[in-house]
Amino acid sequence: MAEHHAASDGKHKASANAGGSVHGNSRPGAAGGGGGGGGGKGGLSGGLTQPAGWQSLLSFSILFLACLAGFSSRLFAVIRFESIIHEFDPWFNYRSTHHLTTNGFFEFLNWFDERAWYPLGRIVGGTVYPGLMVTAGLIHYVLNLLHITVHIRDVCVFLAPVFSGLTAISTFLLTRELWNQGAGLLAACFIAIVPGYISRSVAGSFDNEGIAIFALQFTYYLWVKSVKTGSVFWTIGCCLSYFYMVSAWGGYVFIINLIPLHVFVLLLMQRYSRRVYIAYSTFYIVGLILSMQIPFVGFQPIRTSEHMAAAGVFALLQAYAFLQYLKDRLTRQEFQTLFFLGVSLAAGVVFLTVIYLTYTGIYAKIHIPIIASVSEHQPTTWVSFFFDLHILVCTFPAGLWFCIKNINDERVFVALYAISAVYFAGVMVRLMLTLTPVVCMLSAVAFSSVFEHYMGDDTKREKPPAEDSSDEDDKRNSGNLYDKAGKVRKHVSEQEKAEEGLGPNVKSIVTMLMLMLLMMFAVHCTWVTSNAYSSPSVVLASYNHDGTRNILDDFREAYYWLRQNTDEHARVMSWWDYGYQIAGMANRTTLVDNNTWNNSHIALVGKAMSSNESAAYQIMRSLDVDYVLIIFGGVIGYSGDDINKFLWMVRIAEGEHPKDIRESDYFTPQGEFRVDKAGSPTLLNCLMYKMSYYRFGEMQLDFRTPPGFDRTRNAEIGNKDIKFKHLEEAFTSEHWLVRIYKVKNLDNREPLDHKLRSVVPKQKYTSKKVAGHILFCCFNQK
């Protein structure tokens, strides 16, 4: 953390120094490349010899330190445990990347995975966003080309931290375009350590989001740049970055809706310009064609409702541009204004309908059990906002306020970004991730404007004369309500007066307190990263009273057992959470996994788990199941086990088989879910219960508790005498966390009736019986 403190100290200095000259940089774009350029140049050349050099060195080192802090604060898990892939989805990504590096790119695109979703299989190449795997594979290839031999696993583990450094840089660039360099540096420092982003990008969390946030921010940066300059060069860059984003994450839909929204609002505000026209037309066409190259996306961009807003705005923009063209030729302005109003109203209605449809679609999806069962798909409490963003969540509205007060084309964009992202984050916890970057940027704006006014020293009064000359430029523009190229500079010029007013004492107190807040933020981030977001969840750790640590490695122990002791083509049934891990670590065929594309298949597994043994046996026979794997936390008090997830299995099964499975059967008459004697008999005899608690009744964990005491649910189990007819215990891990059962083959047929055999030769006319016997033999041979 030392680096970070250094970084946060340094950047304030930079923002104070930056004040004068950087504004000059941002102006030419905003003022349309007019006469303002001279002023900016003057500002730079005034301090070219020393301060500018210092400034860029300082900026560079701050940025570098921010990247370094971001990278190293994501390494808790690697240092505490080892270089290991985390959780569930990353295991699939890792397995695919491994496939890519061993078999080549085209083989990967055509990959049909027959080890998943038995007996259906899964077309991986066409149902996956390949950006992540290709990125990791490419890095691996380049490193090997340079004779730096690393295992692909290490590339995968460290990919997300490396990309978080890149995210910091792209956030810096974007914020610099929106406000100034000081704010950019602050934003880079914020995004490097903010928990809302770390939660998805710690080392080992090899998931799409890790690289997608970089792509998102970089696309936005290039978009803002192309709106500012109106050059096709930047727009093509934006399209390429968008293409990368599409290849990496389904969240690209956010971009393809936000950018049209930006253009639409700009049109409404009558801020239409050639720059906007060029930027959006190019972006839409090229971006559309590029995005359709991803097999998983295919023709969606011209079919589905969430892409229609972009098309609508494209049509609207063309109509608007045409009207503008006509306006120059014709004189009847009234008519044209009316026409414009009509067009924009119609487009607005279309736009709102599309948004509404999408919204209702999302809302309907929330109520399907399989989606509702995932904890990430829940709405967000204020606590999670505060937990993930800390001080930033309170201060970023201030940044939004400043942005709207000093509005220009690109600040419209950031305001829309903030408002839409905050809405989505409120609806779903996992979308906190898209909110985090904009919160960092706007908070940086807020802090930077405070520091700009309160950190300046007396030396600042010696301003380059160029600033004064450019003020005339402001006055010229001030007639126009919207163009606000000069507003920021006005702050600076007024700052001189302010410095005379608020004495140095007040200023330094304010600065100190603000720095203290930032320090608390850094401490909070480190604490959260270390405690909440750095657990691999494949390896668990428990702490004794004296602080020593126990590693519970049951998962890998069990998966390795499967790998070593079962047939290569054995089929393992488990709840879908563990599908990817079984495939990745045990290399065995699974029935369902975390790619929950087939609800009825999952419901079938849920039905097997929640039926009694003989009914379950029929299902398992029909699905060719060889082994059943369950997670049981009752011995060590692990709360994420299958009994705690069990009601979701029942619900999902009930959704497909309402005749056979009823949720109410698993509750007591009082409506409680209990595993002890008072529990419902259906629960106490279902397969999941029996598999979890088999032989558990004999086990006394503690002298104070009776045998068969479940530590997770704090209850003595109700069914201690569990016998299996069709299953047998195959493996139980050290802490009983993973239990594996073998599904027995069908019993042998009843032994042949000896009497019949002995009788047969005695009879003289036996044609019928012999015939029957032969027939039976044939049948048996079959």
Output the smallest distance, CB 477 to other proteins, in A: 15
**Residue from 119, 121, 342, 379 that binds other proteins (CB under 8 A)?**
379
Instruction: Please answer whether residues 642 and 630 qualify as being in contact, where contact means their C-beta atoms are separated by less than 8 angstroms.
Output: yes
For residue 34, what is the DSSP state? S
Question: Binding of other proteins at residue 455 (CB under 8 A)?
Answer: no
Residue with smaller CB distance to other proteins, 513 or 759: 513
Q: Which stretch binds other proteins (CB under 8 A): 28-36, 507-515, 596-604, 622-630?
A: 507-515
Look at residues 522, 465, 650, 666 and name the one whose alpha carbon lies nearest to residue 47.
465
Question: Binding of other proteins at residue 658 (CB under 8 A)?
Answer: yes
Output the smallest distance, CB 131 to other proteins, in A: 30
**Residue from 146, 459, 501, 765 that binds other proteins (CB under 8 A)?**
501
**Residue from 100, 132, 313, 418 that binds other proteins (CB under 8 A)?**
418
* Cα atoms found within 13 Å of the Cα of residue 121, Cβ hemisphere only: 7
Question: Binding of other proteins at residue 498 (CB under 8 A)?
Answer: yes
Question: Binding of other proteins at residue 84 (CB under 8 A)?
Answer: no
| Residue 755, strand partner residues | none
Give the C-alpha distances (Å, rounded to integers) separating 468 from 11, 493, 621: 27, 8, 85
**Residue from 481, 548, 761, 767 that binds other proteins (CB under 8 A)?**
481
Q: 3-state class of 645 per DSSP?
A: helix
Q: 3-state class of 695 per DSSP?
A: coil
Residue with smaller CB distance to other proteins, 66 or 528: 528
**CA-based angle 671:677:683, to the nearest 5?**
60
Amino acid at position 60, single letter:
F
Angle between helices 232-248 and 131-145 (to 10 degrees): 100
Question: Binding of other proteins at residue 681 (CB under 8 A)?
Answer: no
**Residue from 128, 157, 400, 518 that binds other proteins (CB under 8 A)?**
400
Binding to other proteins (CB under 8 A): which residues in 519-558? 520, 523-524, 527
Amino acid at position 663, single letter:
E
Residue with smaller CB distance to other proteins, 366 or 774: 366
Question: Binding of other proteins at residue 423 (CB under 8 A)?
Answer: yes
Look at residues 215, 575, 593, 251 and name the one whose alpha carbon lies nearest to residue 430.
251
Alpha-helix runs per DSSP H in 269-408: 274-291, 308-329, 333-366, 369-372, 382-389, 391-405
Question: Binding of other proteins at residue 560 (CB under 8 A)?
Answer: no
Output the smallest distance, CB 664 to other proteins, in A: 5
Q: Which stretch binds other proteins (CB under 8 A): 130-138, 499-507, 693-701, 733-741?
A: 499-507
Site size with other proteins, rule: CB under 8 A: 61
Output the smallest distance, CB 17 to other proteins, in A: 17
Work out whether strand 122-123 and strand 112-113 pair parallel, antiparallel, or are unpaired. Answer: antiparallel
Residue with smaller CB distance to other proteins, 311 or 407: 407
Output the smallest distance, CB 510 to other proteins, in A: 5
**Residue from 214, 234, 244, 385 that binds other proteins (CB under 8 A)?**
385
**CA-based angle 154:156:162, to the nearest 5?**
95
Output the smallest distance, CB 248 to other proteins, in A: 26
**Residue 669: what are its φ and ψ, rounded to 5°?**
-55, -25
Angle between helices 36-46 and 2-30 (to 10 degrees): 140
Report the C-alpha gap between 379 and 431 in whole angstroms. 10
Task: Match 């190229």 to its residue by tokens.
Answer: 485
Residue with smaller CB distance to other proteins, 380 or 719: 380
Output the smallest distance, CB 159 to other proteins, in A: 31
Q: Which stretch binds other proteins (CB under 8 A): 82-90, 288-296, 668-676, 698-706?
A: 668-676
Residue with smaller CB distance to other proteins, 500 or 721: 500
Question: Binding of other proteins at residue 678 (CB under 8 A)?
Answer: no
Give the C-alpha distances (Å, rounded to integers) separating 682 from 7, 667, 675, 679, 691: 61, 9, 11, 8, 14
Residue with smaller CB distance to other proteins, 441 or 628: 441
Report the C-alpha gap between 455 and 449 in whole angstroms. 10
Note the residue count of the chain: 782
Reduced DSSP (H G I as helix, E B as strand, rest coil) percent helix, strand, coil of the chain, to 5: 65, 5, 30
Residue with smaller CB distance to other proteins, 146 or 383: 383
Assigned token pair, 494: 């007024």
Q: What is the dihedral of CA 464, 465, 466, 472, to 10 degrees?
A: 140
Question: Binding of other proteins at residue 491 (CB under 8 A)?
Answer: yes
Question: Binding of other proteins at residue 401 (CB under 8 A)?
Answer: yes
Give the residues lining the site for other proteins (CB under 8 A).
Answer: 366, 379-387, 391, 393-398, 400-402, 404-405, 407, 415, 418-419, 422-423, 425-427, 446, 449-450, 453-454, 481-482, 491, 494-495, 497-498, 500-502, 506, 509-510, 513, 517, 520, 523-524, 527, 658, 664, 667, 669-671
